[in-house]
A and B are shown apart, each in its own frame.
Chain A
Amino acid sequence: MKGLMVLLDVAAAHLLMRVRQTVVAVAGVGVGVGFFLAVSGMMIGSQNDFIKTLIDSAPHIVASDEQRSAARQPALDAFPQAAVTVRGVRPQDEVRGLKDWPALLADARAIPGAVAAPTLVGAVAVRFAGRTEAVSLNGIDPRIEGKLAKIEESLIGGRLIDLEARPDGIIVTRPMADRLGAHVGDTLVVSSSAGTLQRMRIVALVDPDARAGFYAGDIAGYGLLRTAQVLFARPNVVNQIHVRLPNPQTAERDAARLEARWGYKWVSWEERSRDILNLLVVRDVIMYAVISAILVVASFGIYTAVSNSVADKRRDIAILRAMGFTERDVQVIFLAEGLAVGLIGVLVGFGLGTLLLEALSHAPLTMGGKPLVLPLDRGLRQYAVAGGASLVAALIAAWLPARKAASVDPVEILRGAA
């Protein structure tokens, strides 16, 4: 653009003549952007880490032999035109379990890259040394279940595959073992509601840290699927299917599709964690509100700087206009001042933010005695958001004073001075 450079030079001259005010305004933007990066880096980093844990610690989809709504009563179908109410329904003691489960399993496995495992879950009583505890026993296929989620990393004293070598093996959580006073290698007496009694030997314990998640529910226990079927006297019955997907983001869609096809309840990790995910949204809103407030405050600095510059330079504006500079030229000069402060501030802020994130990543934090590395998000996206938002804020902040500068009537100023 012809003649633009001279406008930028005048703008730069104005800023350089008012070093202190310019520095303060730049610092305002810089601190705003720096803390934006540090705060959002921590918030988004911890959130991503949390969601990753949520996804990795459990199957992405769990199908169980439940329905989302009560079974339709035959009376309703028999008299479709009538107003029928059915009360006090007593269900037949149906044999619980997923009907046709090999077909369900095959369908889940038909999703490319997906892993699916059959499971039979039921309540058992566990006795050891005179103490009794209730355990929710999961009969699993250890080879497949190990690929489903990161349970293996949370095991102490043994491995999942040990169940295969010992069909009478059982895995309970460490707190459960502590309550029973049992250790790895001890034999528990396990009884089911079917009246079956079986001795089972502890082959490993689940350490209930964050990663274990789904598998470390207080009363969870694990054994072989075959063993569980015998214990519950339900040969060849399965009441849950656990699915892991190559891309967890498709869980919700895949679950809905499978549910529509097969009935039963297919729960995705998102549905299971809806409350927590909603909380994260609230957290996001709070974060962005705080960050916007920081940026607004920073743009006040720019507004003040440009406003003062305009007030100071009314004589100069008049002479520029008399010389043949247009209203738009004048406006561009002051917009450029605001934008320059914003731009330098953003660069300072990028430096500051990067330093803060670097410092945070080396912060000597511990959690429960173990060193804790803060999960930080250092994505370019955050830099782009912070930079973009600041520049827009700078433009808006400079806009009003620049408009005012453009509307200065040179004659009025010249009369007053001459």
Chain B
Amino acid sequence: MTPLIEANRVSRTLADPEPFTLVCDASLSVAPGEMVAIVGPSGCGKSSLLYLLGLLDRPTSGSISIDGRVTEDLGEAERTHIRLERIGYVFQFHFLLPELTALANVALPMRRLARLTGDQIAERAAALLEKVGLGDGAGKRPERMSGGERQRVAIARALANDPAILLSDEPTGNLDSANTRMVIAEFQRLAHEEGRGVVCVTHDATVAAAADRRIHMLDGRIVAGD
């Protein structure tokens, strides 16, 4: 089975203002149906690695394949299209568009992809919100939602275009334990029942324990995995 993500000796260094290595020689792969946690001390390069895996950033050396397709030689437009179609992002701070309702936020990626009709998009957005337990909050703006609710809207939005890959950076960093449990359960369901590849950068031991595998990082390097 082709891995969803395959990173092969990936490095990312900065030249300015002084040479600095964010990620060094990292190799990993993520298969469909598994939930992987990336753990390590603050500043070790977890987020940097996640940006590389999600094609938001380009490695200075090494290569990353998505669905078995090498991405280094692709232009920005193609990489962006892969993000739109195959990858969903969830960040620690929900990053919803404040002007739009929950439903409109969830609809954004679908409207951009424009594969469904307007009615189908509205229907699917409502269904996704229903799944994360926000069936009646569809018309609310982010400012009138709690942190947990916003994070659930962000998860629903990440799943809008039915991506094979879900990347998340400290998704529970701002949540209480009840919401954290809910997010863990959702991620496990997405991996185990829906067969997606879920990658989760986390400090939270419960989240890490709930993952199928843990990748440990230190100073930009992957030091251990289980």
Contacts and interface: CB of A to CB of B under 8 A. Distances in A.
A327 B56 contact: no
A322 B47 contact: no
A417 interface: yes
Contacts of B100: 10, 13
Interface stretch (B1-9, B76-84, B210-218): B76-84
Given A3-B114, A6-B111, A417-B95, 11 more contacts: A3-B112, A318-B95, A319-B95, A319-B96, A326-B77, A327-B76, A411-B56, A414-B47, A414-B51, A414-B169, A418-B47
Given A5-B111, A327-B76, A418-B169, A17 B89 contact: no
Nearest to B89: A322
A414 B90 CA distance: 11
A320 B56 CA distance: 12
Interface residues of B, number: 34
A7 to B, nearest CB: 8
A321 B97 CA distance: 12
Interface string A394-418: 0000000000000000110011011
Contact of B92 (A2, A315, A323, A418): A418
A323 B169 contact: no
Nearest to A417: B93
8 contacts: A9-B111, A13-B100, A16-B99, A323-B109, A326-B77, A327-B76, A417-B93, A418-B170
Given A13-B97, A13-B99, A415-B47, A322 B83 contact: yes
B54 interface: yes
Interface in A1-57: 2-3, 5-6, 9-10, 13-14, 16-17
Contact of A10 (B80, B91, B92, B97): B97
A322 B56 contact: yes
Contacts of A6: 108, 111-112, 114
B111 A324 contact: no
A288 interface: no
The 4 closest A-B pairs by CB, nearest first: A324-B84, A13-B99, A6-B111, A2-B114
Given A10-B97, A410-B56, A414-B51, A329 B83 contact: no
Nearest to A413: B95
B193 interface: no
Q: Chain A interface: which size bin?
A: 20 to 34
Nearest to A2: B114
Given A13-B99, A16-B99, A418-B170, A323 B114 contact: no
A323 B108 contact: yes
A3 B95 contact: no
B93 A418 contact: yes
B85 interface: yes
B71 to A, nearest CB: 14
Nearest to B163: A324
Contacts, number: 86
B204 interface: no
A327 B97 CA distance: 17
A414 B100 CA distance: 20
B57 A411 contact: yes
B209 interface: no
A9 B161 CA distance: 19
A14 B91 contact: no
B113 interface: yes
Given A6-B108, A323-B108, A326-B80, A14 B51 contact: no
A418 B203 CA distance: 13
Nearest to B92: A418
Interface string B7-28: 0000000000000000000000
Nearest to B107: A6
Contacts of B77: 326
Nearest to A5: B111
Contact of B109 (A10, A324, A411): A324
Interface in B38-96: 47, 51, 54, 56-57, 76-77, 80-81, 83-85, 87, 89, 91-93, 95-96
Interface in A171-200: none
B82 to A, nearest CB: 8
A155 to B, nearest CB: 73
Interface in B177-206: none
Contacts of A323: 83-84, 89, 108-109, 112, 157
A133 interface: no
A325 B112 contact: yes
B11 to A, nearest CB: 16
Interface in A218-271: none
B2 to A, nearest CB: 21
A321 B113 contact: no
A329 B83 CA distance: 14
Nearest to B76: A327
Residue in B77, B85, B96, B114 whose Cβ sees the most chain A Cβ within 10 Å: B114
A162 interface: no
Given A3-B111, A3-B113, A418-B47, A325 B97 contact: no
A414 B96 CA distance: 13
Contact of A316 (B51, B87, B89, B97): B97
A40 B99 CA distance: 41
Contacts of B47: 414-415, 418
A397 B83 CA distance: 31
A370 to B, nearest CB: 59
Given A329-B112, A411-B51, A324 B81 contact: yes
Contacts of B170: 418
A414 B109 contact: no
Contacts of A13: 97, 99-100
